[in-house]
Structure 1
């Protein structure tokens, strides 16, 4: 049994003009100790999918799925008390913006110790000792002194390390990292990624890495899920995806990597933008930006191909018959 099982996940939001579908038909399974990356441009529904798993979407959201289960527990039907016990303990999440994810009104120590007291039942002294141990693990110098610091007194990289310490405090079996290196400089990004992979290996937890950086995916992930405009358009192991992408969108993302640029030519790009609430096209959502699109793509919604073609949601997957 997979640690996390998702089948046909759909997330809609109530708006003044009706329902807006942000995520549709996402299928994903994550095994114990596995690293899975979810990639795509901003607006592809990556974060929304995982916030639905965590139960952290606003009341305006409607979440439906054929299966949404963690370690056999149905996340759609468990009670609020069971959900609170699960979130932060067995499942944890690192959010995009460390500077805004921490509460500015409380010290770092209070915010780490709160989770330890609530989920593990530690007393004040035990929680403080554990918090010092966690800050040491994530590479923060003078950890005992840092516990009394407020978030505004920390750098971006230091704040992200505190967020990681909070996320791993209760030894979760699944850690979701949502763009964990956003707004950090390049050297700090590398340190944070190395830290996450090291923690994942030492603790044996499953890691879902949400990112739009394909280079990060190549270095860390075992399997990759590609999302576009709320659709899951391809799923492959990392080597297969980089060597033989099957969806034109995946191929375009890889072609746009600076590492694949040809000297003396312009860096490749994908024309247009990800469609939003009011401009979603008919047929294939990617067809306005796809050089392979024809009238069938404009009129008919594609269905997923077989596993041998990366389950690409495309009428004409690369490597298949046209």
Structure 2
């Protein structure tokens, strides 16, 4: 049984101009101990999808789904109190900006201890001992002294490690890492990724990794989901996706990797992800796609068969060439 099952997740935001759909029909399943990566440009709905699962979207958001289950429990029917028993304990999240995710008014020890008190009911002495253990686990030197430090006294890499310590404090079964290496130098990025993989191996937790860095995906993920403009456009095992991407957007992302570039200038994808007021009537990627034709401009695509990565495209690519799918999913 999958640890997490999401089907047809959609998120709408109320704006002055009406509802804006930021996430449209996203489905996701994660097995125990599995590492799944969600990739795409900024504005693709990656973070919003996971924040919807965590219940951390603002009141202007409207979340709907055909299914949202964790360990077989229907999360759509849970009361707020019942949901809080799961979120933060069995399902935890590392947020994108460590420097702004930590409360500047409280010490590191207080913030980690608050998690332990809320979800595990530990006493003061137990919280301190566990906090020291957690800081040591994530590689922070002099952990006992760091308990008294405020966030502004920590570097970006150190703050990220504190966020990881808070996220794993209750030994979650599923950890969602939202751009865990953003704004960190290359050396620290490698250390953070190694730490997450080590924790997965030691604690048996599953990991959902949100990133736009295809290099990180290649090194860590077992399966990849590609999102564009709030929709899933391809899903495949990592090795298969890198060897033979089926959606033109996936192929364009991979072509922009420095190690794959053959010209003096890196390839780029023209244009930008469509927003609320410039969404094309047909395929959302059509204005930026080198393979678009008349049907793409007028008709939304349907998913291709599983062997073509369920690519959301009228003519998925096979070995770099567009072909028509034989049977829609």
Question: TM-score scaled by structure 2?
Answer: 0.97
Q: Residue in 2 aligned with 1:77?
A: 77
- Could you tell me which residue of structure 1 aligns to residue 323 of structure 2? 321
Query: Cα RMSD over matched residues?
Result: 0.8
Structure 2 residue 299 is the aligned partner of structure 1 residue 297: no
The separation in 2 between residues aligned to 1:160 and 1:265, in whole angstroms, is 35
Deviation for aligned residue 1:87: 1.0
Deviations 1:144-190 (A, max 9, x none): 00000000000000000000000000000000000011111111111
| Equivalent residues in 2 for 1:118-129, closer than 5 Å | 118-129=118-129
Query: 5+ residue gaps in structure 2?
Result: 325-329
What residue is the counterpart of 1:195 in the other structure?
195
> CA offset at residue 270 of structure 1?
0.5
Q: How does 1:256-271 map to 2 (within 5 A)?
A: 256-262=256-262, 264-271=263-270
Whole-Å separation in 1 of the counterparts to 2:294 and 2:171: 51
Q: Quote the residue 2:231 is aligned against.
A: 231
**SS across alignment from 2:236:** strand
Match of 1:105 in 2: 105
Aligned 1:35-114 pairs, distance under 5 A: 35-114=35-114
Match for residue 277 of structure 1? 276
Q: CA deviation at 1:76?
A: 1.3
Cα distance between partner residues in 2 of 1:102 and 1:283? 42
Once the two structures are superposed, residues 222-255 of structure 1 have per-residue CA deviations (whole angstroms, 9 ceiling, x without a partner) of: 0000000001000000000000100000000000
The size of the alignment, in residue pairs, is: 321
TM-superposed deviation, 1:321: 2.9
Please report the TM-score for the alignment, with normalisation by the length of structure 1. 0.99
State the alpha-carbon separation in 1 of the partners of residues 268 and 278 from structure 2: 21
Q: Which residue of 2 is the match for residue 177 of structure 1?
A: 177
State the Cα distance separating 1:108 from its structure 2 match: 0.1
Which residue number in structure 2 is paired with residue 23 of structure 1? 23
Alignment of 1:202-217 (within 5 A): 202-217=202-217
How far does the alpha carbon of each residue in 1:125-146 deviate from its partner, in whole angstroms, 9 at most, with x for none?
A: 0010000000000000000000
What stretches of structure 1 of length at least 5 have no aligned partner? none
For 1:312, the equivalent position in structure 2 comes to 311
Cα distance, 1:121 vs structure 2: 1.0
Q: How far off is 1:266 after superposition?
A: 1.6
